[in-house]
């Protein structure tokens, strides 16, 4: 019989299964992205009910099964409940989770992507810079983390502030990434850089992005 293990992670997705269970997709420090059953998580007053939702970040106790893990307990440090009170922030956050889900794999070292996601969600909650700027930074940095960021498209001319912002995104650690602001002109240019690069590299339609853009 395998021993229980503990991992540090953030819940990317929570899908209902059967009458009372959920299947969680968790991005972890130790195991990369994993799937885990959360038994009876949809029963009122069950100990796993509050911790089996997207955005929950903390330590999860798991029992390894043949094809998936089973959550036996959790110590969640961040629920990011503030996002649930702001539909726009929730939409941005859900989009960020979907990008992380798209990029990450099981048994990969996903520590940098996990850190990026965590500090991006913190930036949404703190609201020190605008949501569109947070989005553009995250989109570019996700490409950087995964070794796919092509930089400013060769046909684009950008102002010095935009060029400096791109350099900061490439070189700055996630913890300090959301510490600058941009003028309207520079933000629009950075958004264009992020969108063109994502379209060129990923060729993927994110369902959560369609919902987000319907709110804007």
pLDDT at 32: 95
Q: Are residues 57 and 105 in the same domain?
A: no
Q: Are residues 110 and 160 in the same domain?
A: yes
Q: How confident is the model at residue 27 (pLDDT cuts 50, 70, 90)?
A: very high
CB 152 within 8 A of CB 166: yes
Kindly give the pairing relationship between strand 32-38 and strand 5-17. Answer: unpaired
Q: For a pLDDT cut of 90, what percent of the chain falls above it?
A: 91
2, 93, 96, 108, 178 from 134: Cα distances, Å: 42, 10, 10, 26, 7
CATH number, domain with residue 67: 2.40.50.140
Instruction: Give the pLDDT confidence of 66-115 residue by residue, as tens digits.
Output: 888 999 999 999 999 999 999 999 999 999 999 999 999 988 999 999 99
Burial class of residue 50 (count of CB atoms within 10 Å of its CB; 0-12, 13-18, 19+): middle
Q: Are residues 124 and 207 in the same domain?
A: yes
DSSP state of 106: B
From CA 45, how far away is CA 70, in angstroms rounded? Answer: 19
pLDDT at 203: 86
pLDDT at 207: 93
> Whole-model pTM above 0.85?
yes
Mean pLDDT of the chain: 95
pLDDT at 2: 63
Q: Are residues 68 and 87 in the same domain?
A: no
Number of domains in the chain: 2
Place of tokens 């400013």: 152
pLDDT at 199: 92
CA angle at 136 for the pair 130 and 141, rounded to the nearest 5°: 125
């Amino acid at each position: 019989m395998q021993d229980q293990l503990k991992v540090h992670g953030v819940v990317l997705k929570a899908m209902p299964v059967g009458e009372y269970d959920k299947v969680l997709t968790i991005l972890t420090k130790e195991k990369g992205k994993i799937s885990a059953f959360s038994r009876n998580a949809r029963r009122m007053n069950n100990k796993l009910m509050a911790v089996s939702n997207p955005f929950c970040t903390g330590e999860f106790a798991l029992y390894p099964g043949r094809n998936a893990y089973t959550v036996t307990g959790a110590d969640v440090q961040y629920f990011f409940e503030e996002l649930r009170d702001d539909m726009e922030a929730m939409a941005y956050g859900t989009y960020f989770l979907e990008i992380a889900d798209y990029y990450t794999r099981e048994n990969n070292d996903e520590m940098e992507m996990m850190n990026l996601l965590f500090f991006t969600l913190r930036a949404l909650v703190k609201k020190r810079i605008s949501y569109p700027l947070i989005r553009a930074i995250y989109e570019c940095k996700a490409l950087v983390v995964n070794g796919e960021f092509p930089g400013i498209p060769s046909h684009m001319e950008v102002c010095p502030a935009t060029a400096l912002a791109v350099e900061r995104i490439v070189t700055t650690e996630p913890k300090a990434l959301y510490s600058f602001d941009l003028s309207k002109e520079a933000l629009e240019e950075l958004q264009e850089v992020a969108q063109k690069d994502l379209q060129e590299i990923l060729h993927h339609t994110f369902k959560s992005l369609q919902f987000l853009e319907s709110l804007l």
